[in-house]
Amino acid sequence: MSGSHRAAQRKVDRQMHPDLSPTLPVIPEVCAELWASAARVLDANWVGDHTVPSRTLYPHQWSWDTAFTAIGLAYVNQPRAWRDLRSLFAAQWPDGRVPHIAFDPDTPEEAYFPGPRFWNVPAYAGRPARSSTGLVQPPLHALAAWEVYRHAAAHGADAVQQARIELDRLYPRLVAQQEYLGDRRDAGGGGLASIVHPWESGLDDSPAWDEALAAVPADPGLLDRHPRRDLALSDAAHRPTDTDHARYVGLVLDYQAGEYSDTGLAERHAFVVECPGFNAVLATAELALAQIAGVLGRPSEARRHRERARDVTAAIGRRLWNPETRTFHARDVRTGRLSPAHCVSGLLPLMLPDLEPDQVDGILAELRSERFGLPAPSHDRTAREFDTHRYSRGPVWINVNWLLRRGLLVHGRRDEAEELRRRLVRLVHRNGHFEYFHPEEGGGLGTSAFSWTAALCLDLLADRSAPAYARAA
Containing 274, the helix (H) or strand (E) segment is strand 273-274
Distance CA 126, CA 128 (A): 7
Of residues 204, 244, 262, 274, which has the active-site annotation?
A: 204
**What is the amino acid identity at position 59?**
P
Distance CA 156, CA 227 (A): 50
204 is catalytic: yes
463 is catalytic: no
Distance CA 14, CA 411 (A): 8
Longest CA pairwise span in the chain (Å): 63
Contacts of 258 (CB under 8 A, 6+ apart): 268, 269
Distance CA 258, CA 117 (A): 17
Distance CA 348, CA 405 (A): 10
Rg for the chain, CA atoms, rounded = 21
3-state secondary structure of 124: strand
Of residues 166, 387, 435, 463, which has the active-site annotation?
A: 435
In this structure, the number of other CB atoms found within 10 A of the CB of residue 354 comes to 18
CA distances to 4, 144, 180, 234, 320 from 455, in Å: 37, 12, 28, 22, 31
Q: In DSSP terms, which residues pair with 327 in a beta bridge?
A: 322
Containing 309, the helix (H) or strand (E) segment is helix 299-320
**What is the amino acid identity at position 33?**
E
Backbone angles phi, psi at 394, to 5 degrees: 165, -40
DSSP assignment of 369-428: STT--SSPBSB-TTSTT--SSSTTSS-B-HHHHHHHHHHHHHTT-HHHHHHHHHHHHHHH
Q: Cα-Cα-Cα-Cα dihedral of 251, 254, 258, 260, to 10°?
A: 20
Burial 1-26, CB ≥16 within 10 A → b, else e: eeeeeeebeebbebbbebebeeeebe
In this structure, the number of other CB atoms found within 10 A of the CB of residue 224 comes to 9
Distance CA 72, CA 192 (A): 29
3-state secondary structure of 334: coil
Q: Which residues are catalytic?
A: 204, 435
